[in-house]
Amino acid sequence: MTESEILPQLVAILKDLSPSTQVLAGQTERTLESMGFDSLDVSGLLLKLEERYDISISEEEAENLQTLGDFAASIAAKKAG
């Protein structure tokens, strides 16, 4: 599973979490915070990602995930590993 495959899925999950927030798959360098997602949204997102992709994201790893691209790359790396 590649980052480019994951990105649109990630966008759909984020839209589901916050329908009023505009998220575009091309905005890989934008932070989730700048899109309007708060710390509780991120907790909800991490849980959805762990369940959807059957992965585990540690607290330390989560602290380094800021942008859409960060999340997609992390998921892709875990699925490849």
Partner 1 sequence: MTTFIRAIGVYLPSARIDNLDRAAGFGASETFVREKLGPLQLAIKAPEEETSDLAVQAVRNIDAPDFDLAAVDGLIVCTQNPDGHGLPHTSAIVHAKLGLSGECAAFDISLGCSGFVYGLALARSFAQTYGLRNVLLVTADPYSKVVEAGDRETAMLFGDGATASWLARDRGGGEWAIGPAKFATSGKGARYLHVNDEGHLRMKGREIFTFAAVEAPKQIDALLVQEGLGRGDIDCYLLHQGSRYIVDTIRDRMGLAPDRVPVELTDYGNTISSSIPMLLANRLSDPDLRKLVLCGFGVGLSMASMILERK
Q: Which stretch binds partner 1 (CB under 8 A): 4-12, 21-29, 33-41, 66-74?
A: 33-41
The distance of closest approach from Cβ of residue 26 to partner 1 in the complex, given in angstroms and rounded to an integer, is 27
Q: Is 62 in the site for partner 1 (CB under 8 A)?
A: yes
Q: Is 35 in the site for partner 1 (CB under 8 A)?
A: no
The distance of closest approach from Cβ of residue 59 to partner 1 in the complex, given in angstroms and rounded to an integer, is 7
* Paired residues of 31 in beta bridges: 67
The distance of closest approach from Cβ of residue 47 to partner 1 in the complex, given in angstroms and rounded to an integer, is 5
